[in-house]
A and B are shown apart, each in its own frame.
Chain A
Amino acid sequence: MGTTQSGILGGRLPLAEYEANFSDLHAPLDRHEALVAADRCYFCHDAPCMTACPTAIDIPLFIRQIATGNPIGSAKTIFDQNILGGMCARVCPTETLCEEACVRNTAEERPVEIGRLQRYASDIAMTENKQFYTRSARTGRRVAVVGAGPAGLACAHRLAVKGHDVVIYDAREKAGGLNEYGIAAYKAVDDFAQKEVDYVLSIGGIEVSHGKALGRDFSLADLAGEFDAVFLGLGLAGVNALRIEGENAEGVEDAVDFIAALRQSKTKADIPVGRRVVVLGGGMTAIDAAVQAKLLGAEEVTICYRRGKEHMNASGFEQDLAASKGVTIRHWLQPKRIAVKDGRVAGIELDYTTLDNGKLTTTGETGILAADQIFKAIGQTFEASALGALRMKSGRIVVDAEGRTSLEKVWAGGDCVLGGEDLTVSAVAMGRDAAGSIDRAFAAAQPLASAVA
């Protein structure tokens, strides 16, 4: 048992309990389990799971390769489509993607465990450091990639395979983007994000320049001048504000910062958490913050979402996970005012909400929850700067199906583009496809006189 002292404190739990709480959410499948799970795949024709995968991994094939004792071949099938298949196996909301499409749902309401099988095969290949790709002869083309997240890494890898040289610029100290800073700790244990970055970069031809931010250290025009092509794979640096009274009180924090700090902490005991925590929002970020607050020893954690359960962006699985960890999810509550005492959060007053002809309105009723810590998880924004004349819409970059922006030589993908799904796996697909588009553009252009054979 930990301490229930009020206020925002670290060390609420004994050390061993932190370790248990933040261990792997799903233990990896061992060989026997993987074979049993793989046996359930029907090897569907034109498989619905494959169609549902944003990176279109040949799922029936990789599962059959596992079932026939060829996990290395299986990993190659995965990586051919998704070089970050290891992380996607851990963080994909499979219950709304491949596993939702699995025909076994119709048969017995239990899909093939595609995500865990993908992890099984990709882990074996990565543990053995099995490299499947070698670089083509160097072309002499140089591409700048902005952002070392899933989109940027996938793009850089594919470009490197094609023989182009890549420089990735990233504002943070470590590469990986949200894989490193934005995912609940229990989903990517043992420093997996960095291991995966190392695995991806070992193809060669990719230089990563850390601590370099677009708009602060260089402009898009600078990159376009220096490189043959630019890929923008930026994340969402901005966080939506509540715009209510008390927002600046001590104890009101951004959920993304909390999640990032947790990931960077080794023991988690140093991460302070409130006794009564309220998380505002209804997406994965809200769930990740709430669950981890609970795992850090918070006595009460309540997610407040201003619409109904059916409107939450967090998947059913994630909601159930939160409930199983003791998080309370309350719907139809919208923050009205944060109660402050001595400059610190004391509670939050919420309006009850309802839908009136499809429009969200308050009912006039209010309620108060005691809280000493409040996390904001009500959405993030793309903070565009130094992008010049790049065409934007609704605050995001406009791209075509191949990832081309309105500017020649500039491609984009991931969370920063319009119409994305804010998923790691979608970002990978966009980065990969943009690399293909860049490569084709190079091929269509005049060959470089200075190309190295």
Chain B
Amino acid sequence: MADLRNNFVGIKSPNPFWLASAPPTDKAYNVERAFKAGWGGVVWKTLGEEGPPVVNVNGPRYGAIWGADRRLLGLNNIELITDRDLYVNLREMKQVKMNWPDRALIASIMVPCEENAWKAILPLVEETGADGIELNFGCPHGMSERGMGSAVGQVPEYIEMVVRWCKQYTRMPVITKLTPNITDIRKPARAARAGGTDAVSLINTINSITGVNLDTFSPEPSIDGRGSHGGYCGPAVKPIALNMVAEIARDTETHGLPISGIGGVTTWRDAAEFMALGAGNVQVCTAAMTYGFKIVQEMITGLSDWMDAKGHRTLDDISGRAVPNVTDWQYLNLNYITKAKIDQDACIKCGRCHIACEDTSHQAITQLVNGVRHFEVIEEECVGCNLCVNVCPVDNCITMETLPAGTLDRRTGKPVDPNYANWTTHPNNPMARQAAE
């Protein structure tokens, strides 16, 4: 049996599946249910400073996009941080941590960018017995208009400053949560590291409008006919999150900085991918909000069974394994040549590969052969782009086959060169370096 125990910057949990700071972790009732279901940890819904709590809108807080059969693909929210009294939250956190000593309990915090505000709240949180804090520099709506959330996360200098205060005023590990609403994710990550953060977590939600009501012309979700951008999350954002995690994992300045991976984790497979790209654990929200807390059981068993099948014993065996394989485009091997191959027994003859290639790509798939409906790759035209694989509705019907070195590439009429060669030395590159003699 694979060992799923997680040690993230000293915070221990029985598995690497944490619930992200969000509606599912707003109060003891939910968190207790989550722990009963098997979640390894929770990041409590973001606490604000002492005083009257924030208020939320009283109309819809969520918008969504759906795939086939109304499967939720992307969710957007305009909810703010906790709208419950600070002390109610702190009391409940303390009780929950006492009830569940083996689970991770992290406090998410967002207070104004003033040293005293942070100095005031940190001891209160520490007193709950929480295992660590997460700095919410990501929330992209509402709070950012008040100079908090992503308004901080978009200014590396502020990040560094606040992290520094936190490291100064608490012994708890500090996780800095980053916003993706920025051009280069490495900049805030470097700033957090410079401030002394123990880890970063990402991504927070992405600025988004999920749709427009075409009767009222109001953006969705609509509050009395008007809408505001919300934070986008769910399966649709996973590719964006994976890239940002990888960027930080492979950046020389942030390499080795612990990462808690967030963004569309829906299955064990998503979690494994985040961890392979350098995350030490993952945080989940939308999947739980879509299906309930029970999904963690699928995640735990799936990850464990996959690790067993592959001979990975601990999470350290998988964490970061894909990072060395993430590179810049210029270093990709231009002598690696693939051709699409259609399994005629699996083909259902929908013709989508043909029309995609014919209309939008390289005219490399037949429609008729000897007058019969038949879809076959024309190797002379196939550039190996993979579009046909992606539009084919049948799993594994079209595959990309690697041409072995020495075989003839019928598109170029040349044999496949066995040597690695990339753009940096390509003759078409005006900046090409001289290839070694």
Chain B residues contacting A36 (CB-CB under 8 Å) are 69
| A446: interface (CB < 8 Å) | no
Chain B residues contacting A44 (CB-CB under 8 Å) are 349-352
Task: Report the Cα distance A43→B394, complex, angstroms.
Answer: 14
| A174: interface (CB < 8 Å) | no
**Which residues from 344 to 386 on chain B have a C-beta closer than 8 Å to any C-beta of chain A?**
348-352, 354-355, 367, 373
| B393: interface (CB < 8 Å) | yes
Q: Which of A40, A45, A103 contacts B354 (CB 8 A)?
A: A45
| A46: interface (CB < 8 Å) | yes
Interface residues on B, range: 10 to 19
Chain A residues contacting B69 (CB-CB under 8 Å) are 36, 39
| B68: interface (CB < 8 Å) | yes
Contact between B355 and A45 (Cβ–Cβ < 8 Å)? yes
Contact between B352 and A107 (Cβ–Cβ < 8 Å)? no
Q: Given contacts A39-B68, A42-B393, A103-B348, list 7 more A-B pairs with CB under 8 A.
A: A40-B68, A44-B352, A45-B367, A46-B355, A46-B373, A103-B349, A107-B348
Task: Report the Cα distance A39→B69, complex, angstroms.
Answer: 6
Q: Which of A35, A40, A45, A48 contacts B352 (CB 8 A)?
A: A45
Chain A residues contacting B355 (CB-CB under 8 Å) are 45-46
A107 CB → nearest B CB, Å: 5
B35 CB → nearest A CB, Å: 36
Task: Report the Cα distance A43→B348, complex, angstroms.
Answer: 13
Contact between A106 and B393 (Cβ–Cβ < 8 Å)? no
Task: Report the Cα distance A46→B368, complex, angstroms.
Answer: 11
Interface residues on A, range: 10 to 19
| A212: interface (CB < 8 Å) | no
Chain B residues contacting A330 (CB-CB under 8 Å) are none
Q: Which residues of A line the B interface, CB within 8 A?
A: 35-36, 39-40, 42-48, 103-104, 106-107
Task: Report the Cα distance A48→B70, complex, angstroms.
Answer: 27
Q: If A36-B69, A39-B68, A39-B69 touch, does A46 touch B393 (CB 8 Å cutoff)?
A: no
Q: If A107-B393, A107-B394 touch, does A45 touch B68 (CB 8 Å cutoff)?
A: no
Q: Which of A39, A40, A46, A106 contacts B351 (CB 8 A)?
A: A46
Contact between A103 and B68 (Cβ–Cβ < 8 Å)? no
Contact between B348 and A45 (Cβ–Cβ < 8 Å)? no
Q: Smallest CB-CB separation from B375: which chain A residue?
A: A45
**Which residues from 88 to 109 on chain B have a C-beta closer than 8 Å to any C-beta of chain A?**
none
Task: Report the Cα distance A43→B68, complex, angstroms.
Answer: 13
Q: Which of B350, B393, B394 contacts A45 (CB 8 A)?
A: B350
Q: Which residues of B line the A interface, CB within 8 A?
A: 68-70, 348-352, 354-355, 367, 373, 393-394
Chain B residues contacting A42 (CB-CB under 8 Å) are 350, 352, 393
Chain A residues contacting B367 (CB-CB under 8 Å) are 45-46
Chain A residues contacting B68 (CB-CB under 8 Å) are 39-40
Q: Which among A42, A45, A48 has the highest number of chain B CB atoms within 10 Å?
A: A45
Chain B residues contacting A104 (CB-CB under 8 Å) are 348
Task: Report the Cα distance A39→B373, complex, angstroms.
Answer: 24
B82 CB → nearest A CB, Å: 36
Chain B residues contacting A35 (CB-CB under 8 Å) are 70
Q: Smallest CB-CB separation from B392: which chain A residue?
A: A42
Contact between A48 and B349 (Cβ–Cβ < 8 Å)? yes
Provide 30 A-B residue pairs closer than 8 Å at the C-beta atoms, listed in order of the A residue.
A35-B70, A36-B69, A39-B68, A39-B69, A40-B68, A42-B352, A42-B393, A43-B352, A44-B349, A44-B350, A44-B351, A44-B352, A45-B350, A45-B352, A45-B354, A45-B355, A46-B351, A46-B355, A46-B367, A46-B373, A47-B351, A48-B349, A48-B373, A103-B348, A103-B349, A104-B348, A106-B349, A107-B348, A107-B393, A107-B394
List the 6 shortest-distance A-B pairs measured between CB atoms, nearest first: A45-B351, A45-B355, A106-B348, A103-B348, A44-B350, A39-B68
Task: Report the Cα distance A42→B373, complex, angstroms.
Answer: 17
Q: Smallest CB-CB separation from A38: which chain B residue?
A: B68
Task: Report the Cα distance A186→B42, complex, angstroms.
Answer: 58
Chain B residues contacting A103 (CB-CB under 8 Å) are 348-350
A243 CB → nearest B CB, Å: 46
Chain A residues contacting B350 (CB-CB under 8 Å) are 42, 44-45, 103
A389 CB → nearest B CB, Å: 40
A73 CB → nearest B CB, Å: 14
Task: Report the Cα distance A38→B367, complex, angstroms.
Answer: 25
Chain A residues contacting B351 (CB-CB under 8 Å) are 44-47
B292 CB → nearest A CB, Å: 22
Task: Report the Cα distance A36→B68, complex, angstroms.
Answer: 8
Task: Report the Cα distance A45→B348, complex, angstroms.
Answer: 12
Chain A residues contacting B394 (CB-CB under 8 Å) are 107
Chain A residues contacting B70 (CB-CB under 8 Å) are 35
Chain A residues contacting B352 (CB-CB under 8 Å) are 42-45
Task: Report the Cα distance A43→B70, complex, angstroms.
Answer: 18
Chain B residues contacting A39 (CB-CB under 8 Å) are 68-69
B322 CB → nearest A CB, Å: 32
Chain B residues contacting A40 (CB-CB under 8 Å) are 68
Q: Smallest CB-CB separation from A105: which chain B residue?
A: B348
A51 CB → nearest B CB, Å: 9
Q: Which among B70, B348, B352, B367 has the highest number of chain A CB atoms within 10 Å?
A: B348
A100 CB → nearest B CB, Å: 13
Q: Smallest CB-CB separation from A36: which chain B residue?
A: B69
A251 CB → nearest B CB, Å: 51
Chain B residues contacting A45 (CB-CB under 8 Å) are 350-352, 354-355, 367
